[in-house]
Structure 1
Amino acid sequence: MINTVVENYRQWRNYRDTVDELARLSNRDLGELGISRGDITEIAREAATAK
């Protein structure tokens, strides 16, 4: 049970960190990476679950 809580927290923290980092980029920088602002949450969700 504790492992599940810790893992869920880790995934949530990775999600938040990714969203925050990508949101700080300018539209130009995101465009150079091939990312639109609307893609940020999906990319963060994928990053949070990747090991």
Structure 2
Amino acid sequence: MATTDIHSIPATRQPGFAGMMARLRSARSRRAEYHRVYGELEQYSDRELTDIGISRANIRDIAWQAAYGG
């Protein structure tokens, strides 16, 4: 009889309560990463952002890409 370890199944495919909790943890982690990157970039001056090639208008997009990809 074959068994499957639930930890080897991606969070989006886990059934029931365990899957829901895994998806919530993943969403919380991604949201925290978004806020971390956004907050860090927001603290830079316009000059510092320009030096690293970032426009202040792009901070949200960059934070989104860091947390959620694409």
How high is the TM-score relative to the length of structure 1? 0.93
Q: Decide which structure has greater helix share.
A: 1
Q: Percent identity?
A: 32
Aligned length, in residue pairs: 50
Task: Report the AA paired with residue 48 of structure 2.
Answer: D
CA distance in 1 between partners of 2:47 and 2:60 (Å): 18
Structure 1 portions without partners, runs of 5+: none
Greater Rg over alpha carbons, structure: 2
How high is the TM-score relative to the length of structure 2? 0.69
Q: CA RMSD in A?
A: 0.7
Within the alignment, does 1:35 sit opposite 2:64 as a pair? no
The list of structure 1 runs, each at least 4 consecutive aligned residues, that deviate by more than 2 angstroms after superposition, is none
